[in-house]
Amino acid sequence: MPAFEYTALDVGGALVSGVIDADSAKDARARLRLQSLFATEIRQGEKGISLSTQVRVRTLFRRVSQRDVAIITRQLATLLKAGLPLVRSLQAIEDQLADSPLRAHIIEVREDVNRGISLGDAMAKHPKVFTELYVNMVRAGESAGALDSILDRLAVFSEKTLALQNKVQSAMVYPIFMSVIAVAAVGILLAVVVPTITKVFVESKQKLPTPTLVLLKVSRFVKAFWWAILLVFIGIGVGLKRVVRIKRARLFLDTMKLRIPVLGQLVRKLAVSRFARTLSILTASGVPILKAMSIVRTIVSNEVLAKAIDDAAEAVKGGKSIAEPLAQSGVFPPIVIHMIAVGEASGRLEDMLQNVADAYDSEVENGVMALVSLLEPAMIVVMGGVVGFIVFAILMPIFEMNQLVQ
Q: How do residues 346-355 score in pLDDT, each as one tens digit?
A: 888 888 888 8
Q: 187, exposed or middle or buried, with CB in 10 Å at 0-12, 13-18, 19+?
A: middle
Among candidate residues 390, 391, 401, the one with its CA nearest the CA of residue 200: 401
Q: Note whether 308 and 331 are within 8 A (CB).
A: yes
pLDDT recorded at residue 58: 47
Return the DSSP state at 62. -
Decide which of 195 and 231 is more confident. 231
Please determine, for residue 210, whether its predicted confidence score (pLDDT) is greater than 80. Answer: yes
Q: What single letter denotes the amino acid at residue 50? A: S
Q: To the nearest whole percent, how much of the chain has pLDDT over 90?
A: 1
Please determine, for residue 80, whether its predicted confidence score (pLDDT) is greater than 50. Answer: yes
Q: How do residues 142-175 score in pLDDT, each as one tens digit?
A: 887 888 888 888 888 888 888 888 887 787 787 8
Work out the average pLDDT over 33-62.
Answer: 59
Work out the average pLDDT over 239-268.
Answer: 82
pLDDT recorded at residue 1: 55
Q: What single letter denotes the amino acid at residue 374? A: L
pLDDT recorded at residue 2: 66
Please determine, for residue 231, whether its predicted confidence score (pLDDT) is greater than 70. Answer: yes
Instruction: Please state whether beta strands 15-21 and 38-44 pair in parallel, antiparallel, or not at all (unpaired).
Output: unpaired
pLDDT recorded at residue 291: 86
| DSSP codes joined into one string, 300-355 | S--HHHHHHHHHHHHHHHTT--SHHHHHHHT-S-HHHHHHHHHHHHHT-HHHHHHH
Ramachandran angles phi, psi of 131, nearest 5°: -70, 170
Among candidate residues 269, 319, 317, the one with its CA nearest the CA of residue 293: 317
* Domain parsing of the chain, residue ranges: 1-29+36-46, 30-35+47-156, 160-406
User: Which helix (H) or strand (E) element contains residue 7?
Assistant: strand 3-9
Work out the average pLDDT over 23-43.
Answer: 76
pLDDT recorded at residue 60: 44
Q: How do residues 288-332 score in pLDDT, each as one tens digit?
A: 888 888 888 888 878 888 888 888 888 888 888 888 888 888 888
pLDDT recorded at residue 55: 47
Q: What are the CA-CA distances from residue 86 to residues 83, 91, 352, 358 (Å)? A: 9, 9, 33, 32
What is the CATH T-level fold of the domain 30-35+47-156, as seen in this structure? Receptor-associated Protein (1.20.81)
